[in-house]
């Protein structure tokens, strides 16, 4: 199978933009299939960050000297680039965070503490990443609110058959993952948001896995909050963001207090700055924001429709090849149109950690474990899975290498 030019994306050409992919691991050319955990960085991102630190390094919003002005311009231009990637017209609605985890915690602590009371309910699903479970558990403990959960069906899709029973006048917030990091399942968040709003609830979408892989237009999702991580979309670690509807964000008390989020400070009280500053206390990760802006520009240049088509080609090819391997079980929807480029699987009784170690000896990087989704693993009846995940720089030859490695593992374990 050749590189997919019909999708408008030539992965063989794009691979040259990612210096890390040129190396060998354990004497073999690297095959990187751990993209759901973190993606690699193109030279454009590396150079943007290096350029900032070499030429413009200074604090933002606080200085009148040239370096500070240039740093502020680069910082806010990055916000505009990321907002444009997601179809966000008002970039002030985009709050910089360290990633999805901090963004969800921001909503839980700020909006949740201010708005939830005993007896109120937050609706989640058993599919959620721990980052979209633990903050709400902590919130429920603080406020007396109750958590309720949407189940999954036998193909690990959300079971919405009883959604009308789960959504009541007590529901104040629904928080659902857009794309499962453990399975690749794409959830109908637009439908869920509409039904949540019908009972007066707000909707948060965990976009950690959809932001890099789907052509997301955030306003069209109909949600009230959208969260994402920069390192999963070719940007640096420690970056990401929260989008929220302006009227909701403006009503939220600040998450942190300190510099840059204030308007006026007296000894006994303070007033707060307008968005986005009021939710961004302290010196931000300026170089990281610049890098994330470069990543957004890179992904826009490649084309997110092309990225999705390329991943689905790799996904279909991998599922076809995996069907030829005895003792291999694939989890998640059978239809590639219902999932992103993530495949969770088990191979006989081989522990996923052992499988990951064997593949690493061949230079193949996959993930093994519970993928920060322990309730989902228990619901599926497994302790952990192996996970291969694709991105725009993967090629069919990477799938072939993975399959060769799985066949070798079968022989090694006598399957």
Dmax (CA) for the chain in angstroms is 73
Other beta carbons within 10 angstroms of residue 199's beta carbon come to: 16
Other beta carbons within 10 angstroms of residue 98's beta carbon come to: 20
Strand pairing category for 94-97 and 31-32: unpaired
- Whose tokens are 């989008």? That residue is 243
Query: Using alpha carbons only, what angle is made at residue 241 by residues 256 and 179, rounded to the nearest 5 degrees?
Result: 130
Which two three-digit tokens encode residue 125? Answer: 């699903």
Rounded Cα distance, 13 and 314, in Å: 16
Indicate the SS3 state at residue 129. Answer: coil
- What are the start-end ranges of the H helices in 27-168? 43-51, 66-85, 100-106, 113-115, 134-143, 163-166
Angle between helices 286-302 and 66-85 (to 10 degrees): 40
End-to-end CA distance of the chain: 28
Q: Respond yes or no: is residue 234 known to be catalytic.
A: no
- The residues pairing with 387 across neighbouring beta strands, listed in sequence order, are 344, 367
> What's the burial of 235, exposed, middle or buried (CB within 10 Å: 0-12/13-18/19+)?
buried
Which two three-digit tokens encode residue 144? Answer: 């007396």
Nearest to 186 by CA among 214, 150, 160, 224: 214
Nearest to 31 by CA among 360, 376, 312, 339: 360
- Whose tokens are 């022989």? That residue is 411
From the list 214, 372, 373, 395, the catalytic residue is 372
- Whose tokens are 């990091």? That residue is 181
Active site residues: 372
């Amino acid at each position: 199978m050749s590189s997919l030019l019909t999708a408008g994306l030539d992965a063989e050409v794009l691979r040259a933009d990612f210096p890390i992919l040129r190396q060998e691991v354990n004497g073999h050319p690297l095959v990187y299939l751990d993209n759901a955990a973190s993606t690699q960085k193109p030279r454009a991102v590396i150079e943007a960050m290096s350029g900032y630190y070499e030429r413009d390094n200074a604090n933002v919003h606080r200085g009148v000297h040239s370096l500070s002005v240039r740093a502020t311009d680069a910082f806010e231009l990055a916000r505009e680039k990321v907002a444009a990637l997601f179809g966000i017209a008002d970039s002030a609605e985009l709050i910089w965070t360290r990633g999805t985890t901090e963004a969800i915690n921001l909503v839980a602590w700020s909006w949740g503490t201010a708005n939830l009371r005993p007896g109120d309910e937050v609706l989640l699903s058993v599919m959620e990443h721990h980052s979209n479970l633990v903050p709400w558990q902590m919130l429920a403990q603080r406020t007396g609110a109750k958590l309720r959960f949407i189940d999954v069906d036998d193909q690990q899709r959300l079971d919405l058959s009883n959604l009308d029973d789960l959504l009541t006048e007590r529901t104040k917030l629904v928080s659902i993952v857009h794309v499962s990091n453990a399975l690749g399942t794409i959830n109908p968040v637009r439908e869920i948001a509409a039904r949540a709003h019908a009972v007066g609830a707000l909707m948060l979408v965990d976009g950690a896995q959809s932001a890099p892989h789907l052509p997301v237009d955030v306003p069209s999702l109909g949600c009230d909050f959208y969260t994402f991580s920069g390192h999963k979309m070719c940007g640096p670690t420690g970056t990401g963001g929260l989008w929220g509807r302006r009227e909701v964000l403006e009503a939220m008390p600040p998450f942190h207090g300190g510099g840059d989020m204030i308007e006026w400070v007296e000894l006994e009280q303070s007033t707060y700055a307008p968005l986005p500053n009021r939710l961004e206390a302290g010196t931000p990760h300026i170089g990281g924001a610049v890098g994330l802006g470069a990543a957004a520009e890179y992904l826009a240049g490649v084309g997110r429709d092309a990225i999705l088509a390329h991943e689905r080609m790799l996904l279909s090819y991998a599922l076809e090849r995996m069907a030829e391997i005895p003792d291999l079980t694939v989890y998640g929807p059978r239809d590639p149109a219902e999932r992103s480029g993530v495949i969770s699987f088990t191979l006989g009784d081989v522990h996923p950690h052992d499988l990951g170690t064997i593949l690493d000896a061949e230079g193949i990087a996959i993930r093994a474990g519970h993928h920060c989704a322990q309730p989902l693993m228990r619901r599926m009846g497994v302790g952990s899975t192996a996970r291969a995940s694709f991105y725009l720089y993967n090629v069919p030859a990477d799938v072939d290498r993975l399959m060769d490695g799985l066949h070798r593992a079968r022989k090694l374990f006598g399957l």
